[in-house]
Amino acid sequence: MSPFHLRRTLTAGLLAAFLCGVPARADTLDKVTFGTNWVAEAEHGGFFQAVADGTYKKYGLDVTIVPGGPNENNRMLLIAGKIDFFMAANTLMSFDAIANNVPVVTIAAIFQKDPQVMLTQPDVKVGKIEDLKPLTLFVSKEGMTSYFQWLKSEYGFSEKNVRPYNFNPQPFIANPKSAMQGYVTSEPFAVEKAAGFKPNVLLLADYGFNTYSTLVETRRDVVEKKPDLVQRFVDASMIGWYNYIYRDNSAGNALIKKLNPEMTDDLLAYSVAKMKEHGIVDSGDSVKNGIGAMSDERYTSFFNKMVKAGVVKADLDFRKSYTLRFVNKGVGVELRPSKP
């Protein structure tokens, strides 16, 4: 999903729409191309589910998903008009677009909580996030320019104990007095498989790092010229996410594994379970307003934190980075079980 993931290999290119049942005539569907920012995985599952179970087709869409990867730049394809929608990593990407006059806008936020975590070994006593300060911290270059700046401004962390994280857990496993960045949906699983212990997990979102994650972006001209198409894509995607998280997601998972043969059933199940356990997709505003929910208050809060941390400039017109026009309508909330 992002530079914070352990790298996995993608052996397929473009994904043709995989629709169940008797196919509708092609000329009755609007063709849409959606680019992700990493290889096929559970963290993208709702989109694959909506393709695989025919939800997009029900909304009049013939959707092609273009997976990302280490050598792909689907956001550039969006900007160039080669694809219609793109999955951005987090709110900082939206702010960066405004700062650089990139004509894209966020139309939905799939993850209410960013999955970014810090991991420690089981013997390390961690009751609060400040307990990480004395440890050796394995942080990527991307992490140093984003969440670590927030840790500095909010909790007084310093760079003196930071070491480069190169998406290899072995240095963390070898050092019992260390902490390593990761995603709650993947790195704890990888560490347990490699080292045989379950790491302690601190989800930064639970300590105030309140960026949205897994955003859906499109170009401003698409919003202006094709608002009905945008609304249908957002609504169908949200239905796909409810079905993937709470219902039979075998069709979506089959499609993920087809595109990414190195993906395992165990990791898919683990990732979905952790998304549910931590409220990554469905918590906060989405409980009432539906998956994909966003709010002015949440954007303002995160923007102010990033200004304080020196990550963005105070004069940035951040409200131009998103629109609430297509979300907060409660689409799909009836699909949530009464006791998720």
- Helix, strand, coil percentages (3-state) for the chain, rounded to 5, are 40, 15, 40
Distance CA(49)–CA(245), nearest Å, equals 10
**Beta strands of 84-147 (E only): which ranges?**
85-90, 104-111, 116-120, 136-139
Whether the model pTM is above 0.85: yes
Cβ burial of 47 (10 Å; 0-12, 13-18, 19+) is buried
Cβ atoms of 87 and 215 within 8 Å: the answer is yes
How far apart CA 20 and CA 52 sit, in angstroms, is: 6
Matching residue, tokens 């790491």: 199
- State the Cα–Cα distance between residues 212 and 294, nearest whole angstrom: 8
Q: Please check whether residue 68 is in contact with residue 37, taking contact to mean a CB–CB distance below 8 angstroms.
A: yes
Return d(Cα 145, Cα 158) in angstroms, integer. 13
- Give the per-residue pLDDT at 271: 98
Contact 199, 120 (CB under 8 A): yes
- The CA distance from 285 to 297, in Å, is 11
Predicted confidence at residue 10, as pLDDT, reads 34
What token pair was written down for 24? 């509708």
Count of helices and strands (H, E) across the chain: 14, 10
In whole angstroms, give the CA distance from residue 97 to residue 323: 14
CA dist 328 to 112, 162, 323, Å? 13, 40, 11
Average pLDDT for runs of 10 along the chain of length 340: 38 36 61 97 98 98 96 94 97 97 97 98 94 97 97 97 96 97 97 96 98 98 98 98 98 98 97 98 98 98 98 98 98 88
> Could you give all domains of the chain from N- to C-terminal order, each with its CATH number?
26-113+211-335 (3.40.190.10), 116-207 (3.40.190.10)
Q: Residue 27: what pLDDT?
A: 64
